[in-house]
Structure 1
Amino acid sequence: MTIRPADRRERILSTAAAAFSSEGYAATRLSDIADEVGISTPALYRHFDTKYRLFSATVEQLSRRVDEAVSSVRTHDDPRSEFAAVLTAFTDMTFVHRAGGNLYRWEDRVLRAEDRSYTRDVRIRLNRRLRALVEAARPDIDRTTAQAVTIASLSVAASATTHRAALGRRAAVDLLSNAAARIVEVEVPQPTEAHVPAPGLAPTGRREAILAASVRLFADRGFHEVTVDHIGNAVGLPASGVYRHFSSKSAILAAALWRTADRTTDAVAAALAQAQTPSEAVVALAERYSELCVDAPDIMTVYMNGIGAVDESERRALRRSQRLNVDEWAAWVVRARPEVTTAQARFLVHASLNVATDLVNGQPGIGKPLVAAACAKALTG
């Protein structure tokens, strides 16, 4: 008689979390998860009878780990000390489970309302605890700014889940938790009117119209949930009309990703052109990238979440382009902060990039100056 390993369910959940986190819900196949665990697909179905139930269980497990890690941190007399302690616990948990920690980018699109309540409650408790500590530590800022600081600090703490750069656990947790805790010290820019990007005019060319409509749909629903018919309907074309301009839905996504990659590269050159010192370069890089995210939130969301959906050769080329930009940023971080190694600088750069996208998505209408200040703080300490 074959005896099932006692930890099989946990192994399935861990493997599934990594797959969902990397590929997204729609592109993940239960057969691939079963192969990775070393069991048959029917054996996997004995634990989880549908992909949705498996996804729901992975999100619940991640939420439980967050809750347990944060709940273990006792109350401190000093709000800054407690703020740092909570972020350290959260950073360590997310780094240990780094492969699956990016699930939060998919859960809102997939989970049914009844399955989202526990995850939502955990997130709300963590957010409120940190925001209350920010408000206690920074009585000079308003509730909206305190919320932005909270989002930015959590974004830095969890940023290792969004990339594959290498750094040891202790070094990474120390680096990121310290950077996250310092976000509370950010110099808040003078208040400005909330920025809401104007819709602007639609392109008249068919190819550009298809690309613009696709970006909006991909950002709103996710790549795999959008069909060519959806895209055609958005621009008043049949699917055959879309195919006259793009060979496939993946080709549309690839065109959008390359356009964003080019904009990001151009932003690096523009930032360096306006700087005179390494410290100025670091701040200018954060400002230019923040402008991209605030002015074009949909295309930046697609860039962050859609790269896993293009074919392998395209993905490798896009990642090479991204690495070149990250390495350029990292070189200037090291010049501005000689105590930081290149490996550490890469982690800080990814943290800064994550702050921009999470702030824009988590707090629509936030102004460019505050986004840029938080992104720069993640880099400069």
Structure 2
Amino acid sequence: MGSCARLRLRLTAPWPARCESSHDPPRRGSCRSRGVLPSEPKIRCVPGSTCREAGILLGRGADPRPRRSRSLPAPDLERSNTPSMTTPPTWPHTPVVRPKDRKQRIESAATQAFALRGYHQVSMSDVAASVGISAPALYRHFANKYDLFKHTAFGIVDAVETATDDAAESAAVIGAPPAQQSAALIGATLDSLIKRRGTGEIIRWESRYLEPADRASVDQRLAKVYGRFSTVLKQLRPNLRSDDAALQSRAAFAVLASVSMHRTSISSAAADYLRAAAQRAFDAELPETESYVAPAATGIPSTAKREQIVARSIELFFARGYNLVSIEEIGGAVGITASGVYRHFESKSGILAAACSRAAEYLGQVTREVFAAVDNHEAALDGLIDAYVEAQLAHHRLLQVYIAESTNLGDDERERLIALQRDHVEEWAGLLRAVKPQFSASEARCVAHAGFHVVDSLGRVLAWQDTPSNRTRVAHMLRAVLDV
């Protein structure tokens, strides 16, 4: 007797070949005459293929229906996306081509994310999604989130360091006079920083989360950049005292670096003004430093636990960063347990919100007092300069936490405080436009941000020493930058 085809279908895809089935009428010698049910299809191979290619093994007297796996359920061929025996596959598959600049795209996306949301608020999945790849694909380029963060911080410093080095070397090669070297250095630095808008927060705030060796590397390279400015300034003004040169070179760099701290549009006129402002920082004549003996400390701390919690939290957040401070540490600083802290605040974020609200209210009160005491815009701007410098030096911990840590607040509280910060910028921009009508609204905001960053940078240089002499010198530099 003849044999009947035995069928076994492999449940894999794609199929290298296919077979077709039919229900032809029975004839002598057919599968039906050999005991196969009339409803069962017989197998007919397509020309050009073999049964072995189609996954069919020949045997004797077997049921031609597909066998069901003992461990897997039978596939639903109507719903499955797996190609069927009668559906030709698309072959060969088109390979996915990775862009050659994928690593650069990842670094760019990560830089923006870390600057906008902070190191601890960004995950590898967030960065991968923004680039349109999977998280495992991201790990082909960077070992972990810290590795990616370190590369972004180093990349920012690399760009500025390269720009200042190239400008200084080019000017030296042609033997340019000091004034031309100064202009070249200022222009190259500004051009480099404009290309990296909104990334300055990584160096200004987030770099404290770098490991000690990496943080030291960033600081050393920034010191080299500051040294470039100081060298050019000393060539321009050989008789300048070293402490004045350090202060003025940092002020000039701060004017230029301010463009990386905000996202206000920068017109060509605004860029020209910033270059001129940096040059004015070089040219300023600072008042002499006066000796000062700090008075004996007066006053006593509050006895209210809620007030103590806020005060100690501000100090801890300023020293180490919000994300590295625990509720247990805050409680220990005021002599209570973590549960004792929760009797006054629902969460650590609630403590931060209380501190930031206090800072916003303080700046608003300072501004209102200045406006109430004058009768013209020039006097208001002059008074606001002195009041702002005094506030930054006297309450630098509070105001630094206010600016640096607002990204860690809840959405509603963060939006409220960001609106207050914008209002504060608009107060300054409005005064600047009243005194200098040639400014557009965006230009005035750019200049205001430059002034804020100058005060912040000089406060760091002076280690936040709140003395009458330091207040006078910082205010003098701010007036030079604003040209008032």
Q: With structure 1 as the length reference, what TM-score do the two structures score?
A: 0.93
SS in 2 for 1:72: helix
Please provide the CA RMSD for this pair: 2.1
Alignment partners' CA distance in 2, 1:117 and 1:79: 31
What residue is the counterpart of 1:189 in the other structure? 287
The alignment status of 1:52 with 2:116, answered yes or no, reads no
1:65-101 CA distance string (max 9 Å, x none): 1122112213364434322321221122112111323
1:27-81 CA distance string (max 9 Å, x none): 2211111111111111111111111110111111112111221122133644343
- Residues 197 and 295 in structure 1, CA contact (< 8 A), matched pair in contact too: no
What residue is the counterpart of 1:110 in the other structure? 209
- How far did 1:216 drift? 0.6
The alignment status of 1:380 with 2:474, answered yes or no, reads no
The structure with the largest helix share of the pair is: 1
- Residues 337 and 380 in structure 1, CA contact (< 8 A), matched pair in contact too: no
User: Which ranges in structure 1 are unaligned for 5 or more consecutive residues?
Assistant: none
Q: With structure 2 as the length reference, what TM-score do the two structures score?
A: 0.74
**Counterparts in 2 of 1:195 and 1:303: CA distance versus 1, 3 Å:** farther
- What amino acid maps onto 1:358 in structure 2? S
The alignment status of 1:362 with 2:465, answered yes or no, reads no
Q: 1:290 aligns with which of 386, 389, 403?
A: 389
What residue is the counterpart of 1:126 in the other structure? 225
Q: Which stretch of structure 1 is more off in the superposition, 215-224 or 99-108?
A: 99-108
Q: 2:104 aligns with which of 10, 29, 32?
A: 10
Q: 2:273 aligns with which of 175, 180, 185?
A: 175
The alignment status of 1:156 with 2:156, answered yes or no, reads no
Taking the TM superposition and a 5 Å limit, the aligned residue runs for 1:175-254 are 175-193=273-291, 201-254=300-353
- What amino acid maps onto 1:38 in structure 2? G
- Residues 356 and 371 in structure 1, CA contact (< 8 A), matched pair in contact too: yes
- How far did 1:167 drift? 2.9
1:2-31 CA distance string (max 9 Å, x none): 221111100110111111112222222111
- Residues 195 and 368 in structure 1, CA contact (< 8 A), matched pair in contact too: no
Alignment partners' CA distance in 2, 1:199 and 1:160: 39
1:176-222 CA distance string (max 9 Å, x none): 22222211233413422369798764322111111010101111111
**Counterparts in 2 of 1:249 and 1:48: CA distance versus 1, 3 Å:** same
**Counterparts in 2 of 1:20 and 1:256: CA distance versus 1, 3 Å:** same
The alignment status of 1:37 with 2:131, answered yes or no, reads yes
Alignment partners' CA distance in 1, 2:288 and 2:379: 20
- Residues 19 and 100 in structure 1, CA contact (< 8 A), matched pair in contact too: no
Alignment partners' CA distance in 1, 2:182 and 2:295: 33
Percent identity over the alignment? 34
Alignment partners' CA distance in 1, 2:338 and 2:196: 41
- What amino acid maps onto 1:47 in structure 2? H
1:287-339 CA distance string (max 9 Å, x none): 11111110011111111211111112112111211122211111111111122
Alignment partners' CA distance in 2, 1:293 and 1:189: 20
Alignment partners' CA distance in 1, 2:294 and 2:357: 25
Alignment partners' CA distance in 1, 2:456 and 2:370: 18
Alignment partners' CA distance in 1, 2:263 and 2:411: 16
Q: Say which one has the larger Rg.
A: 2
Alignment partners' CA distance in 2, 1:301 and 1:199: 23
Paired residues, number: 380
- Residues 198 and 262 in structure 2, CA contact (< 8 A), matched pair in contact too: no
- How far did 1:259 drift? 0.8
